[in-house]
A and B are shown apart, each in its own frame.
Chain A
């Protein structure tokens, strides 16, 4: 391979350079050639050589195409632009477009050259300038040159007009205020005959309308003009200039339709005037060619977006149905895409095509599969949930990895909304977990656990099913996590209950513990799975008292584990066996029914009461997502109402409350130190059955601190008093631990508790409270809604 002789005065021609680079056999050779040439070019630039600058910059552009740095050529481009020769200007502007953008400071230097060139009598020079301005438009340049562009928009030269209009589009995008400059000239553009100008004009108007709602009003009365142009296009037959496969200027038609769509959104009057033309376009356009389909697609989109009459909508859905049956992949993709938008508006129309859509799930093409999957989920309803779920399970088994997590989350949501029975729900979810393996999202595990726990009849059944799955395979983490939780909680039910259909599959305690130990020891289990397993084993220590020695030895073994989390748990559990054996059974008692806010059926608004563990003292952190993975005593939510509930949050250190459950929590509850600026009257929250709760307030801007005092005027003392509060979503509530849970009788003592509410929007405070306590050996529960907070609390 020959390198050029650098001592020669003429630089290498571009073609020669290209040939040299291409003939390089290895990447290193290519780099060598490029670097040599780069160095040469840099020297040449430094020497300020006018004659060959153009050629050198051309070479530099080629080099930058290959990915090598070429920024040293930027100034040279400026010099080329300033030259008078057309060739120089051309290369200069090209270089500027490729190498410069608004991040470099140099680009402002072009402004002057641009201004001169925009005024040049030669239309091609002006065209070059417009092109460059359109590409590297920056806010400063737009402000300076906006006026020039507008002047060119009005010129009679069609070539310049088109470019000027698109330049204007770019300017408006960068600097929306410039809209005023261009606003007036736009109207006259639509009466042009030249299709190129019409095209660019429609782009400009579309852009303006998207930026600026006021523009929308102004341009709405252009709709009749647009409709007329479109009509002429369709009726006029084929003009040879703009004909593509027998359809006259499809691009213009598409653009006009899009503009009509943008203009007539949410506007009845404009929509009415378009109904006819849309119907005409849909019926007249033949759909055997691609271009025809493009127009039909755009028409359908327009029909869907405006307030069209129902007949038109039906027509649109039919067109989409025809697209779906087409063999061409592109059309099918486009149809699926549009159907997704339609289905939210009108589900029934799309249901008819459900079979075809399900077929598309099996297509080899990834884009089509994704669209089909989304559409299938949108189409699920009560009637077809069973068949659709089977289809989706098949799909889940065969689809690519990127789909799995989306698919599982969507399946879960859909089943949550539409499942006919709980048992079916649990069954299907277990199937999903088995098929999807490890690509399931984290919250699904906890949601499934929530569901299992919320149906007491299914405890044994769920445990049984999960146990069976686990016997085969313990590698799928989400499944194993759910299964270990279930076995831990309900292992005793599994052993005691006779399984329904299979008599010879009685499970023995040892087997369950075996499996949990296997999970714990397996190298394929993640840390989280092991945490679940270790918790489950702990719970089983009370449920299966015969095996408690074995479990204790496992815990002791894990007390030396390298992983900190496992070690902590093992150590704590070991001490539960030894020092605190007395309370072990109460700690690992069965959990109360978990009610999760997020995935419960959003259509029903019945409040669900929660069953409280009466041994629990203070409400512990009620975050649902982490419930199963933490210590056994976690009380969840309180009132599941249309008002968003936030359980009182402590800042508890869980492990400390584990070991000191009967003492007060370890924090101080200082009275708030915020200075009160106004004195606010106190309020009686509740006065019922001898319990009186009085709120006194202190306020600091948006934070309200309530001191609540609870007295007992009955003759019996009250024990295990628990107070819960819920506020609407816009507020934030913090419940600090109460001073005690016992109120002596006959007003001889009280409980004090601090509640802090943040009210950033200064709205009227509403609160729902619930009291649970034990009096005279009976459990009592009271509820109240508080609306009568004094105004100074929030105003």
Chain B
């Protein structure tokens, strides 16, 4: 069973936090902090499986993000390793070249994808395509709910917003100014 799913960046800021085992906010943040400390010190070529208390942490590093799954002994580590990749592939396909900003600004959609993949700590579906289909259908349902036009408009706006944001950040970084 998967106990927790954590996605955080190289500075330790959480992007997705899902706990399939009931725990308080303090213990959640504590787990996040400790995991960040352990994983940020690891070498590039180091083993991706770490023992931590009574869990195992399986992690993968993609660009600026660490995807960490905390599993117990009933799951296979290797299996999980592949599942992480599946998950990231699905995110990639649904957001088109996903990057950290996508996870930040569309955290609800990301959570939806997580729900489709993992439920209660177990894996529902392994194939990214099927999950994508389901997600698209649900988005269509939402659109029907709140009226098509506004949603399409907001979708365009949000796409533009995100791209502008990215561009702004790049420029800021490059020229070290504040826009």
Contacts and interface: CB of A to CB of B under 8 A. Distances in A.
B165 interface: yes
Given A65-B107, A329-B47, 6 more contacts: A18-B105, A64-B25, A94-B111, A251-B82, A251-B83, A330-B48
B47 A91 contact: no
A251 B79 contact: yes
Contacts of B17: 65
Contact of A90 (B28, B45, B138): B138
Nearest to A294: B78
Interface in A326-372: 329-330, 332-334, 364-368, 370
Given A65-B17, A254-B76, A58 B130 contact: no
B161 interface: yes
A69 interface: yes
B49 A367 contact: yes
Contact of A61 (B23, B48, B107, B122): B107
A365 B112 contact: no
Nearest to A127: B134
Contacts of A193: none
A86 B119 contact: no
Interface in A54-76: 58, 61-62, 64-67, 69
B47 A294 contact: no
A90 B104 contact: no
Nearest to B45: A329
| Residue of B51, B76, B138 contacting most chain A CB atoms (<10 Å) | B76
A196 B127 CA distance: 8
A196 B126 contact: yes
B107 A124 contact: no
B61 to A, nearest CB: 13
Nearest to B121: A170
B115 interface: yes
Contact of A166 (B74, B81, B120, B145): B120
B28 to A, nearest CB: 8
Contacts, number: 164
Interface stretch (A130-138, A423-431, A556-564, A749-757): A130-138
A419 B48 CA distance: 37
Contacts of B112: 90, 94
B177 to A, nearest CB: 14
A159 B116 CA distance: 10
16 contacts: A66-B14, A67-B29, A86-B141, A94-B115, A131-B115, A131-B120, A134-B122, A166-B124, A199-B126, A210-B74, A241-B127, A251-B83, A294-B78, A294-B79, A365-B47, A366-B50
A144 interface: no
A86 B142 contact: yes
Contact of B130 (A19, A87, A196, A200): A196
Contacts of A135: 20, 119-120
Given A67-B29, A196-B130, A367-B47, A297 B14 contact: no
Interface string A157-178: 0010011001101100000000
A366 B16 CA distance: 27
The 5 A-B residue pairs whose C-beta atoms are closest, nearest first, are A134-B120, A101-B22, A294-B78, A329-B47, A170-B120
B176 interface: no
A135 B4 CA distance: 12
Given A87-B142, A163-B119, A294-B79, A200 B22 contact: no
A301 B45 CA distance: 26
Contacts of B29: 67
B76 A124 contact: no
Contacts of B119: 130-131, 134-135, 163, 166-167, 170
A86 B145 contact: yes
Nearest to A101: B22
Contact of A91 (B46, B108, B138): B108
A130 B130 CA distance: 18
A741 B106 CA distance: 87
